[in-house]
């Protein structure tokens, strides 16, 4: 029997009649190489569960490349593995699941010319997996004729260890091809009788929060004297800290979807995708799924789930903890899934944030519900996972439906504070899309700004207030709970290089964490983990201003006083010239002013072009909204980083071509406290965080 390998991944194409043909080919002539001495490429091409030969997603591949050989080709396997992509069975295993966690098998298969795919089977360790295999037409750009995406739903195993997954494909001329990948079922160690288990898990995600975001927040909120921090942030006080590697399935630089979904699934996904593995269809809702932490713990143990964010609730991070889609932008469908699936079977009892526009029936002014981004699920998924099929129902009154499902609805902070202690389920939608940031919310409370009024939502809660109410509701559940709390605009304002806004959002985040740590200390059965999904903007503290705020204002308003000399050379103090910037906190916990003399200065490594005058950016909404009030408009206010601070004529050339700063691949910190916190030390992959949480939640910790 002859055998060839495609870059190492075993691919067998054979005639059913002869079992193994002497001439064996993958069907991809251009990529078939002799084995067994084939060495691995020294540099692996981009992977995302796609075989390297198909890493172009069919584009640029001719019929001669695909579908022209003796048997069908297999161009993608899910779960993704290095065994399939690189014939490498060695660790690290790309895809891992805990015992009992459900996930789907998937494969993209391509028949040879003139043939069609007739059957697709999945085998684990050589044994056929019983159950139906559905196939869809592959329809991403460049899909070859007859290409199918096969999927088998809701597999799970309690057999701990590494397993092979083989896909066997038969086409209409009876020729057969196989490809093999692998995955691991991770065991949960029993910590022993009497060992504490984390009945409650609270995951805090500071979106985009790298180590420098924490440092900047500490300097502003606590201060530094003679080389020592005058105080610590709440996250600094957690007993265990480690480092997290954040890459996604298809890039060293992740976005928030896979960056957050890894904590909910234990697995990698492509950018823009959450709770799923990639496939080759354009349907946002048919991808191979991975069971989420909330779904698993609700199904297995009846635990409740809470999702709290300062963003629009459909955004990537909250969406990653309650929904499954390859398109993080599908707002209507994501919000519908929160109720249809997460609340119905995934334990969701608290959902707080912005995003009211997705909950209003189409036609109601302000509603952004649209059938174009709504969802319906294919029949095999509905059957396999036991979930509703969904509907294109833009006219749905989702707030009313949540209320019918037993949720109390809060539209303002006053509503939130009035939530009765007996409340079992809570929906809070405090803004039209993203909530206003901490700086603008707190200035609204102080009467120093009208931003929240001008947005039409003058009474928005702070994140600590949202966290407190979420814990009040969730702690009523005797089975325990999982709570995710996100400070979304640390990231969004870092993208904008709006320094004071992301720093204050980090302070707000830390104040919310303090509420959770107090709860955990009292409760005694809770694990609190604080981390991020990725670093944003390449932020660092580059020093301190050498001058007063009045001097900065002067330099920033007069070109002759600004420029590189006036706003950089004469202002940016490095080393000892940075001194110890000092801010004074008000009784509300936030700086009385961020425009202090000799302020902290921030640099951005993943920066877009910007003008910089170092001063806090105002939001002159009132001026523009007063009709013809003869007030000179603030025409220099930023529509973007290059349009603000322009009078100082200090232009900082960006290192990227994007209009705003970008995420980086830098590692991020993770800190933990409570039951199982001891695991969160050292350097770990972001997916490891999920398994450590599950160890604490299911197996306990010593």
Partner 1 sequence: MSPRQLSVTLAATLFFAATQSPARLPSLAFVAAAKRQASPSQPSSRPATERLALREIFKMPIGPRGLEFSERARSLADKYVEIEGYLIAQSAPVKGQVLLGPMPMQLHEHEYGFAEDLPATIVHVVLSDAAERTFATGSGLVRVYGVLRLGARNEPDGRVSYVRLEATTAAVYAVNGQDASAALKPAEPGSAPACGHRH
* Binding to partner 1, residues 493-522 (CB under 8 A): 495
* Cβ neighbours for 360, distance < 8 A, ≥ 6 positions apart: 366, 367, 368, 369, 397, 398, 399
Q: What residues between 154 and 193 interact with partner 1 by CB under 8 A?
A: none
- Any contact of residue 535 with partner 1 (CB under 8 A)? no
Among 173, 415, 465, 597, binds partner 1 (CB under 8 A): 415
Least distance in Å: CB of 165 to partner 1? 30
Least distance in Å: CB of 140 to partner 1? 15
Q: Which of residues 312 and 510 has its CB atom nearest to partner 1 in the complex?
A: 312
Q: What residues between 371 and 410 interact with partner 1 by CB under 8 A?
A: 372-373, 399, 409
Q: E strands of 303-424, at which residues?
A: 304-312, 348-354, 375-376, 390-391, 408-410
8 Å CB contact between 176 and 14: yes
How far, in Å, CA of 242 to CA of 277, rounded?
27
Least distance in Å: CB of 433 to partner 1? 5
Q: What residues between 573 and 592 interact with partner 1 by CB under 8 A?
A: none
Q: How many CA atoms lie within 13 A of 508 on its CB side?
A: 29
Q: What residues between 615 and 654 interact with partner 1 by CB under 8 A?
A: 619-621, 624-628, 632-633, 635-641, 643
How far, in Å, CA of 233 to CA of 134, rounded?
51
Name the segment binding partner 1 (CB under 8 A); options: 43-51, 53-61, 211-219, 367-375: 367-375
- Any contact of residue 419 with partner 1 (CB under 8 A)? no
- Any contact of residue 609 with partner 1 (CB under 8 A)? no
Q: What residues between 330 and 349 interact with partner 1 by CB under 8 A?
A: 331
- Any contact of residue 310 with partner 1 (CB under 8 A)? no
Among 433, 475, 545, 695, binds partner 1 (CB under 8 A): 433
Q: Phi, psi at residue 253, to the nearest 5°? A: -105, 115
How far, in Å, CA of 72 to CA of 56, rounded?
18
Q: Which helix (H) or strand (E) holds 142?
A: none
Among 213, 218, 324, 492, binds partner 1 (CB under 8 A): 492
- Per-residue string for binding with partner 1, 440-469, x by CB under 8 A? -------------xxxxxxx----------
Q: Which of residues 36 and 657 has its CB atom nearest to partner 1 in the complex?
A: 657
Among 80, 208, 275, 566, binds partner 1 (CB under 8 A): 208
How far, in Å, CA of 458 to CA of 454, rounded?
8
Name the segment binding partner 1 (CB under 8 A); options: 107-115, 123-131, 351-359, 688-696: 351-359
- What is the number of other CB atoms lying within 10 angstroms of the CB of residue 370? 15
Least distance in Å: CB of 639 to partner 1? 4
Cβ-based burial of 447 (10 A; exposed 0-12, middle 13-18, buried ≥19): exposed
The secondary structure of 226-271, three-state, reads CCEECCCCCHHHCCEEEEEECCECCECCCCHHHHHHHHHHCCCCCC
Least distance in Å: CB of 356 to partner 1? 8
How far, in Å, CA of 235 to CA of 238, rounded?
6
Nearest 5°: the CA angle 641, 643, 646 is 105
- Any contact of residue 323 with partner 1 (CB under 8 A)? no
Least distance in Å: CB of 270 to partner 1? 11
Q: Which of residues 33 and 656 has its CB atom nearest to partner 1 in the complex?
A: 656
Among 329, 559, 579, 589, binds partner 1 (CB under 8 A): 329
Q: Which of residues 402 and 691 has its CB atom nearest to partner 1 in the complex?
A: 402
Name the segment binding partner 1 (CB under 8 A); options: 131-139, 228-236, 292-300, 307-315: 307-315
Strand 572-573 versus strand 481-487 pairing type: unpaired
- Any contact of residue 666 with partner 1 (CB under 8 A)? no
- Any contact of residue 364 with partner 1 (CB under 8 A)? yes
- What is the number of other CB atoms lying within 10 angstroms of the CB of residue 532? 31
Among 121, 286, 291, 491, binds partner 1 (CB under 8 A): 491
Least distance in Å: CB of 457 to partner 1? 6
Q: Which of residues 575 and 628 has its CB atom nearest to partner 1 in the complex?
A: 628
Residue 323 Cα distances to 304, 399, 401, angstroms: 15, 18, 18
What does the chain come to in residues? 702
Q: Which of residues 83 and 451 has its CB atom nearest to partner 1 in the complex?
A: 451
Among 357, 425, 511, 610, binds partner 1 (CB under 8 A): 357
Q: Which of residues 291 and 336 has its CB atom nearest to partner 1 in the complex?
A: 336
- 558-590 CB burial, b ≥16 within 10 A, e <16: eeebbbeebbbebbbbeeeebeebbbeeeeebb
Q: What residues between 14 and 33 interact with partner 1 by CB under 8 A?
A: none
Of the candidates 561, 684, 676, 589, which has an alpha carbon nearest to the alpha carbon of residue 189? 676
Among 290, 316, 350, 606, binds partner 1 (CB under 8 A): 316
Least distance in Å: CB of 258 to partner 1? 11
- Any contact of residue 241 with partner 1 (CB under 8 A)? no
Per the listing, tokens 């694990």 go with: 527
Of the candidates 484, 332, 494, which has an alpha carbon nearest to the alpha carbon of residue 401? 332
Q: What residues between 552 and 571 interact with partner 1 by CB under 8 A?
A: none
Q: Which of residues 455 and 583 has its CB atom nearest to partner 1 in the complex?
A: 455
Among 21, 138, 297, 660, binds partner 1 (CB under 8 A): 660
Q: Which of residues 10 and 310 has its CB atom nearest to partner 1 in the complex?
A: 310
How far, in Å, CA of 322 to CA of 391, rounded?
18
- What is the number of other CB atoms lying within 10 angstroms of the CB of residue 368? 19
Q: Which of residues 191 and 335 has its CB atom nearest to partner 1 in the complex?
A: 335
């Amino acid at each position: 029997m002859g055998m060839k390998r495609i870059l190492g991944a075993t691919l067998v194409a054979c005639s059913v009649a002869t079992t193994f043909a002497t001439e064996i080919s993958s069907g991809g002539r251009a990529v078939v190489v002799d084995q067994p001495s084939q060495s691995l490429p020294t540099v692996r091409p981009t992977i995302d569960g796609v075989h390297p030969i198909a890493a172009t997603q069919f584009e640029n591949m001719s019929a001669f490349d695909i579908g022209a050989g003796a048997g069908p080709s297999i161009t993608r396997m899910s779960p993704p593995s290095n065994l399939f992509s690189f014939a490498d069975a060695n660790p690290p295993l790309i895809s891992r699941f805990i015992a009992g966690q459900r996930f789907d098998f998937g494969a993209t298969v391509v028949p040879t010319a003139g043939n069609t795919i007739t059957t697709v089977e999945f085998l684990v360790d050589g044994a056929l997996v019983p159950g139906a295999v559905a196939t869809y037409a592959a329809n991403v750009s460049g899909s070859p004729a007859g290409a199918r995406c096969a999927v088998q739903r809701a597999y799970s195993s309690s057999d701990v260890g590494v397993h092979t997954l083989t896909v066997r494909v038969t086409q209409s001329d009876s020729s057969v091809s196989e490809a093999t990948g692998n995955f691991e079922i991770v065991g949960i160690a029993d910590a022993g009788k009497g060992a504490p288990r984390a009945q409650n898990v609270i995951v805090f995600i500071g979106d985009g929060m790298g180590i420098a975001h924490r440092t900047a927040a500490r300097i502003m909120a606590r201060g530094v004297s003679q080389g020592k921090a005058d105080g610590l942030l709440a996250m600094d006080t957690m007993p265990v800290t480690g480092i997290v590697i954040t890459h996604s399935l298809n890039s060293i630089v992740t976005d928030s979807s896979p960056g957050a979904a890894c904590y909910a699934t234990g697995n990698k996904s492509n950018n823009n995708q959450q709770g799923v593995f990639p496939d080759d269809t354009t349907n946002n809702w048919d991808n191979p799924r991975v069971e989420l932490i909330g779904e698993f713990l609700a199904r297995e143990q009846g635990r409740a789930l809470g999702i709290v964010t300062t963003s629009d609730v459909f955004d990537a991070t909250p969406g990653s903890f309650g929904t499954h889609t390859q398109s993080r932008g599908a707002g209507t469908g994501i919000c519908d899934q929160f109720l249809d699936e997460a609340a119905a079977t995934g334990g969701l009892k608290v959902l707080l944030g912005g995003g009211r526009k997705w909950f209003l029936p189409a036609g109601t002014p302000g509603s952004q519900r649209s059938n174009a981004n709504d969802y319906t699920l294919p029949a095999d998924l509905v059957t396999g996972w036991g979930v509703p099929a969904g509907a294109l129902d833009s006219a749905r009154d989702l707030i009313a439906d949540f209320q019918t499902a037993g949720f109390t609805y809060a539209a303002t902070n006053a509503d939130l504070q009035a939530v009765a202690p007996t409340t079992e389920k809570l929906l809070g939608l405090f803004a039209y899309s993203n909530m206003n940031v901490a700086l603008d919310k707190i200035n609204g409370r102080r009467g120093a700004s009208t931003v929240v009024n001008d947005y039409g939502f003058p009474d928005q809660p702070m994140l600590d207030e949202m966290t407190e109410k979420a814990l009040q509701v969730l702690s009523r559940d005797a089975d325990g709970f999982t709570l995710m709390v996100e400070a979304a605009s640390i990231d969004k304002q870092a993208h904008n290089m709006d320094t004071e806004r992301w720093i204050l959002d980090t302070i707000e985040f830390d104040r919310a964490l303090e509420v959770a740590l107090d709860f955990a200390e009292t409760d005694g059965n809770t694990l609190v983990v604080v981390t991020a999904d990725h670093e944003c903007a390449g932020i660092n503290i580059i020093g301190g201003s050498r001058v007063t705020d009045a001097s900065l204002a002067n330099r920033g308003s007069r070109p002759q006083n600004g420029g590189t000399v006036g706003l950089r050379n004469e202002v940016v103090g490095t080393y000892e010239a940075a001194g110890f910037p000092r801010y004074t906190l008000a009784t509300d916990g936030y700086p009385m002013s961020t425009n202090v003399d000799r302020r902290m200065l921030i640099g951005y490594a993943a920066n877009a072009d910007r003008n910089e005058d170092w001063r806090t950016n105002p939001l002159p909404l009132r001026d523009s909204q007063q009709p013809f009030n003869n007030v000179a408009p603030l025409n220099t206010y930023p529509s973007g980083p290059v349009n603000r601070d322009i009078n100082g004529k200090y232009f900082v050339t960006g290192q990227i071509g994007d209009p705003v700063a970008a995420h980086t691949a830098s590692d991020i910190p993770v800190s933990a406290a409570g039951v199982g916190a001891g695991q969160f030390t050292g350097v770990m992959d972001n997916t490891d965080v999920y398994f450590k949480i599950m160890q604490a939640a299911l197996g306990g910790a010593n």
